[in-house]
Structure 1
Amino acid sequence: MWRRLPVRQIVGVAPLLVVALIVLRQWPMVDAGTDRLGSADAEWLLAAGAATLLAWVCSAAAQQGAVLEQLPAGRLLATQFAASAANHILPAGVGGNAVNLRFLLRCGLSPSRSAAALTVRALAACVVRIGLLVVLLAAFPHALDMRKVVPGRPGLTLALAAGAALCLVLVVLLSVRHIRRTVRSFLGTVATDVRAVHGRSARVAALWAGSLAFPVMHAAVLVAVVRSLHAPVPAAHVAVAYLAGSAAAALLPTPGGLGSLDVALVLALVTAGATGVAATSAVLAYRIVTVWLPLLPGVLVLAALVRRRVL
């Protein structure tokens, strides 16, 4: 009986139903954001849309740079668009990673090398984001005033929270022997792929330039929507707020960062100098441009890729 079920058709339709449920659940946010966008500067919103499109190109470049094989450019770009939609359905990037993993498998890579490629890309993205945040904070040390949202000694509070999370992860990894062996073997594969990829200048350029440009484009989207709403916050401070907010939201695995990223970005913009109302409006506009407008087209592309056996 199970063999007769149209599995691919179900996989193609199920995300649409999930999207409908998400939109219904978040409708007050979408409706409020739409009203506020009505009075926003259209030129800045177009700039935000252009930066969103470029972010998918950057994502495709980073994924190509993480593997030695030449991937089909058109299908790679379409996969990144579909992966962004999947990321808003499943938590902590699971959806996007699953889509990219399936794409790499379809391109002929082994499961271990496909997983290693995703890890190489994730590591590059992590290094770049942390580096960008450190550089911007060094250049603009007063970009974030944590005392506006965290009383007392905010630096110590955040450091203790990060240290506790890191210790918990290390305890889990070191306490389970099977996990240690699996992690050691996988890290060996990742190290091999890192050396191979960095032996080709074209792959190095694609990996690191794409990884750098991706958060820059998203920061540019947030800067553009802040400008469209005429909030008097310097662009550099908005960029720092995006990097800090997205890093904080990564600790709370929700679908596409819905909820966690919104709160983190609002708080980060407030520390950067925006009022609570302006910060909330900017995050609503950012979400509409980067999530709600491309969500349905992205899911349709995902369904099409599944039907055509690209995924």
Structure 2
Amino acid sequence: MTATERIPISPGRRLYVQLGITVVVLVAGSGVLVAHWATLDSGTDRLAAADGEWLVLACVAAMGTWVCAAVAQQGAVVERLPRGRLVAAQFAAGAANHLLPVGAGATMVNLRFLTRCGLSTRRSATALAVKAVVGGLVRCALGVALLVASPGTVHLSARFPHVLVLLPVAAAVVVITAAISGRLRRTVARAFADVRDVHRCPARACALWGGSVAFTLLHAGVVLAVIHAIGLGLPANRVVMAYLVASGAAALLPTPGGLGSLDAALALALTAAGAPGAQAVTTVLGYRLLTGWLPMAPGLLVLALLARRSAL
């Protein structure tokens, strides 16, 4: 079979593959939970006895993440979006993100919302891609800033300089690939045109980058507030770094809302930062409760309401 006769992988087949990987990760995570059920149970009891004021602060930070996500999404497009529905869409997208793998739930909700606001499908997809890329760049930049400001935050291995060399090499490979492929080159050119249009407006650029920075820091703030609520005094720089590392690692596993992958990565990162295992589990439980489990039901109700009003 020649290259032109190859049958492309259909979106449905890709979805089945992603769902299969999700099932495997969730089954493995369930096995880990069963094996460490005693630790999980003690963590739940410890969370129930935590400082209420710090938990309220963590709850406020969690609610702020939806506003920041809306600000960043507005910054990714030139057109003005309806503010109330935009924030509601981000709240609904967070709930939908816990139902489908690889962020597909949030992507589908936001894509539908942007097209309902009058953007073409291509420009809506570009806006979502720009927001995702900026979010990744922000996490990397914050991690580098922490390493520069606090060199003792993590212990760098001897291979770290090699990683710094590989990053520009990987970027060069992507650029060369885009230059060789005509269709890809045209797609990238249109995407860069949209990015230039956004950055020609200082208000949009500030919203995109500022919202992404605030979104990441508020998520780390939820983790930090839960840690203080259970009486664990870890330095803030270590907690932020632990969240940055965990969220980046969880993005490699396609589970709904990072379920299982983010939990394990965050627990391991907090343990590496100096938290005892039981306290690390308690922190992950509190973070999940405030950012995922409690908003799930109202988020799905908002999703249904937006769909009924033809906003999605």
TM-score, normalization by structure 2: 0.80
Secondary structure of the 2:102 match is coil
Give, in angstroms, the shift of residue 280 of structure 1: 1.1
1:85 aligned partner: 95
Q: Deviations over 1:168-218 (max 9, x none)?
A: xx79x959x9xx444323212210011100111110111111011000000
Which secondary structure state, in structure 1, belongs to the residue aligned with residue 130 of structure 2?
A: helix
* Contact 2:69–2:215 (Cα < 8 Å) also in 1: yes
1:106 aligned onto 2:116:
yes
Q: Distance in 2 between the 1:132 and 1:100 partners?
A: 26
SS class of match (2:80): coil
Q: Which runs of 4+ in 1 moved over 4 A?
A: 25-34, 157-160
Question: Which amino acid is the alignment partner of residue 45 of structure 1?
Answer: L
Task: Give 3-state SS (helix, strand or coil) of 1:273's partner.
Answer: coil
Q: Identical aligned pairs, as a percentage? A: 51
Q: Give the number of equivalent residue pairs.
A: 273
Q: If the length of structure 1 is used for normalisation, what is the TM-score?
A: 0.80
Q: What is residue 143 of structure 1 aligned with on the other side?
A: 153
Question: SS in structure 2 opposite 1:256?
Answer: helix
* Distance (Å, rounded) in 2 between the aligned partners of 1:52 and 1:46: 10
1:92 CA displacement? 1.5
* Distance in 2 (alpha carbons) for counterparts of 1:214 and 1:46: 18
CA distance in structure 2 between the aligned counterparts of 1:182 and 1:81, rounded to whole angstroms: 35
Greater Cα offset, 182-191 or 31-40: 31-40
The answer for the alignment partner of 1:237 in structure 2 is 238
Structure 1 residue 273: deviation in Å?
Answer: 1.0
Alpha-carbon RMSD across the aligned residues, in angstroms, is 2.7
Q: Give the C-alpha shift of residue 94 in structure 1.
A: 1.2
Matches within 5 A, 1:197-212: 197-212=198-213
> Could you say if the C-alpha distance between residues 288 and 159 of structure 1 is closer, same or farther in structure 2, counting changes exceeding 3 Å?
farther
Task: Report if the CA contact (8 A) 1:140-1:237 is conserved.
Answer: no
Shift of 1:136: 0.6
- Please report how far the alpha carbon of residue 30 of structure 1 lies from its aligned counterpart in structure 2 after TM superposition: 8.9
Cα gap change, 1:134/1:30 in structure 2, threshold over 3 Å: closer, same or farther?
Answer: same
Partner secondary structure for residue 95 of structure 2: helix
Determine whether 1:49 maps to 2:50: no
2: CA distance, partners of 1:275 / 1:140:
22
Partner amino acid, structure 1, of 2:59: G
CA 1:155/1:275 → structure 2, altered by over 3 Å: closer, same or farther?
Answer: farther
2:185 corresponds in structure 1 to 184
Match of 1:193 in 2: 194
Letter in 1 for 2:207: A
* 1:119–1:190 CA contact under 8 A, matched in 2: no
> Residue 137 of structure 2: SS of its match in structure 1?
helix
Instruction: Give the Cα–Cα distance (whole angstroms) in 2 for the partners of residues 38 and 128 of structure 1.
Output: 34
Structure 1 CA distance for aligned equivalents of residues 308 and 204 of structure 2? 30
Superposed displacement of residue 235, structure 1: 1.3
